[in-house]
Structure 1
Amino acid sequence: MTDTHQGTALPTLPNRSAGETVKDVIRRGAVFILLAGLLIVFAVAQPAFLTVSNLMSVLQAVSVVAIIGAGVTVTLAVGGFDLSVGAVAASSVMAASYAMIVLGLSAWQTVPLVLAFGALVGLINAFLIVRLKVPDLLATLSSMFLLTGLQLIPTAGRSISVGLILPDGTTATGKYDPLFLLIGRSSLFGTVPLPVVLMAVVAVALYVLTEHTRFGRLLFATGGNETATRLAGGNTARIRALAYILSGTLAALGGIIVAARVGRGDVSSGASLLMDSVAASLIGFAVLSLKRPNVLGTTVGAVFVGVLLNGLTMLNAPYYTQDFIKGTVLVGALALTYGFSRARI
């Protein structure tokens, strides 16, 4: 554009067409658009879906997945991947139950003990990955198999409940501490389940840590270019180790919530936690089109999956079709996000 009065040429700003603007909105809000669409469809088909009690039930159901997924997100940020989180959570369920029912410990003793167990597993993973240079997938896969077998040994493969018969023939005399059960069964103001509160606290704390602190910047810098981060003065070994320790601790917290909710140590309690938490963390890439690990996206991804499965259940969709429908919707969300990324902006 030329200023005719002064006779000087001024730069011309690019004009964005309406089509490009729409594509940008769709790309950045694909997950939210699909989530809103699901809410509308399920609410029309089943009016009970949008009740406060049902929505709180959905959030409670996804709270563990969101918490564990947040840990996975941190390891993704440093360029790694923690496959052991499901086994850590399942082992934590068994460990918490064993501590109270067999060892007779209280909630105040059990919770720190189990969280320390998760941190220890994360530290072992970090040692294998950072010090011994074992690829992260192989290291955490090995930990997963180790924990899956280890959790069965103390009880000879039995689930843990009151009156458990131990391998030596004696009967466990302990019971669940009522205070411990409140972690999974109580509600704030009688409406918001405590697991939902814990999910929100973890999400906010990790969001601030990863997005608004120097440590968070170093996390993503390590995942993007570890050598450059090291040359810039970042202790990449310590950062990666802390990421895996945090992941293990959050997985243990998820296991504590599961144990407090079901009131027993079920040997199959962590069967789906790995895949669901990984799915939530990967869906997070599509939230706001960030295309990188982010805790906000992981939480939204967990809620997205929870809404979908709850709605399908309320509509009596056959169980054998739910994974297919879930996969189809998730592919659609990612396709909308990445498919429009080539639009001129």
Structure 2
Amino acid sequence: MQEEIKQRSNLFATSVDYVNRWGIVIAIILLIGVFTALMPQFLSTSNLVSILQSISIVTVIAIGLTFSLSTDGFDLSVGSTATLASSLVVSMFVWYSMPTAVSIVAALVITLLIAAINAFLIVKVKIPDLFATLSTMFIFEGVAMTYTGGGSISEGMPRLDGTPTNGKLSETFTSMGQAPTIIIIMVVVVILAHVILTYTKYGRYFYAIGGNQEAARYSGIPVNKYRTIAYFLSTLLAAIGGLLLAAKVGSAQINSGAGYLMPAVAAAFIGSSFRGLGKPNAIGTFVGAILVGVLENGLVMLSVPYYSLNIIKGAVLAIALASTYYKKS
């Protein structure tokens, strides 16, 4: 009798561990199965491409967030970063008629000032990550709105002083926001981030710092340097997400990046439970973004009101986090 109870207990523990490790993948498969049963067109090639295209920007921004999370940080300014980068790059084209390469590089370089300010506040001034990036989130959201005059920037619109504009977005740039280019960019970003976090000393140092900063410092790791690098990577990828957003929409919209903050956070945190790792990782973040994308796409196809989507996505995030932290406790 005791042996039978022990076997059942072991089977239950094994099952729980399996669900903990592969719960996200199981959830994706179940969701695809349910949505396909209700709507056979869900598995059509065009819809699958649409899902990948819809999660591309979220994934790129979430990968940046993954770098900051790996050092036990949290970059809340990624949404504002994307907004500012979007506004800058479109203004370079429309207001100043700059070439494609110059517009992209200028937008990225200027946006990296956010990383410098975040790193200064967090590493030098010692403000906790959450509070520092919350401050810069509001600051650079305001900077972006001030720069654009509180409005959008699109082809044919005059500058703030009323000066007519003749600049246009280049075809090369707009193609970045369309399939398959945007999907390829997303996959490349995920692969590069996975290689950095898994196979390089930078990744090992990031995780060592995230695990215990003092122990990492005593081990000879330059903690401040690598925390700064993590925030620069976070800002850079958020800025790239902003460029992709501008290329996809074909204009710079007010606070356009703000709507990507919570999905990116959800993808990064859900991804932490992938394979039971319990830590931020690039592949997990990608899978988390797929889960959010599949869920949102299916609910939209089922005509679920848009104002109810966040309830369901929030519940999925809570369940994913519970599966991760329940095992730790």
Q: Which one has a larger percent helix, Structure 1 or Structure 2?
A: 2
Whether TM exceeds 0.5 here: the answer is yes
* 1:97, distance to aligned residue in structure 2 (A): 0.6
Change (3 A) 1:23 1:208: same
Aligned to 2:104: 111
* 1:324, distance to aligned residue in structure 2 (A): 1.6
2:97 and 2:167 in contact (8 A); partners too: yes
Matches within 5 A, 1:130-145: 130-145=123-138
Larger CA deviation: 164-173 vs 254-263: 164-173
Aligned to 2:160: 167
Deviations 1:228-271 (A, max 9, x none): 21221111111000000000000000001000011011113113
Cα distance in 1, alignment partners of residues 130 and 12 from structure 2: 42
Cα distance in 2, alignment partners of residues 301 and 215 from structure 1: 23
* 1:117, distance to aligned residue in structure 2 (A): 2.5
SS at match of 1:31: helix
1:118 and 1:250 in contact (8 A); partners too: no
Q: 2:234 matched to 1:241?
A: no
1:118 and 1:251 in contact (8 A); partners too: no
* 1:337, distance to aligned residue in structure 2 (A): 4.5
1:64 and 1:258 in contact (8 A); partners too: yes
Partner amino acid, structure 1, of 2:191? V
* 1:167, distance to aligned residue in structure 2 (A): 2.4
Aligned to 1:48: 41
Deviations 1:198-244 (A, max 9, x none): 11111111111111111111101111111221221111111000000
Aligned to 2:59: 66
Q: 2:306 matched to 1:319?
A: yes
* 1:341, distance to aligned residue in structure 2 (A): 6.2
Cα distance in 2, alignment partners of residues 180 and 235 from structure 1: 38
Aligned to 2:3: none
* 1:319, distance to aligned residue in structure 2 (A): 1.8
Deviations 1:148-173 (A, max 9, x none): 11112233212001122222221122
Matches within 5 A, 1:1-345: 17-185=10-178, 187=179, 193-339=180-326
Structure 1: stretches of 5+ with no match in the other structure: 1-13, 188-192
Cα distance in 2, alignment partners of residues 339 and 223 from structure 1: 20
Cα distance in 2, alignment partners of residues 108 and 261 from structure 1: 17
Larger CA deviation: 226-235 vs 66-75: 226-235
Partner amino acid, structure 1, of 2:181? L
When the two structures are aligned, how many residues end up with a matched partner?
323
Change (3 A) 1:43 1:234: same
Change (3 A) 1:332 1:230: closer
Cα distance in 1, alignment partners of residues 15 and 158 from structure 2: 63
1:118 and 1:245 in contact (8 A); partners too: no
SS at match of 1:274: helix
SS at match of 2:76: coil
Partner amino acid, structure 2, of 1:304? L
Cα distance in 1, alignment partners of residues 100 and 52 from structure 2: 24
If you compute each CA radius of gyration, which structure gives the higher value, 1 or 2? 1
Give the superposed CA RMSD.
1.7
Change (3 A) 1:148 1:312: same
Cα distance in 1, alignment partners of residues 322 and 114 from structure 2: 36
SS at match of 1:154: helix
Partner amino acid, structure 2, of 1:255? G
Cα distance in 2, alignment partners of residues 117 and 155 from structure 1: 15
Cα distance in 2, alignment partners of residues 146 and 50 from structure 1: 42
Partner amino acid, structure 2, of 1:299? F
Normalised by the length of structure 1, the TM-score is 0.89
Cα distance in 2, alignment partners of residues 337 and 50 from structure 1: 29
Cα distance in 1, alignment partners of residues 197 and 324 from structure 2: 23
Deviations 1:26-79 (A, max 9, x none): 121111111110000000100111011111110111111111111111111111
1:66 and 1:199 in contact (8 A); partners too: yes
Cα distance in 1, alignment partners of residues 140 and 316 from structure 2: 33
Cα distance in 2, alignment partners of residues 297 and 19 from structure 1: 25
Partner amino acid, structure 1, of 2:148? T
Cα distance in 1, alignment partners of residues 258 and 210 from structure 2: 29
Instruction: Quote the sequence identity (%).
Output: 41
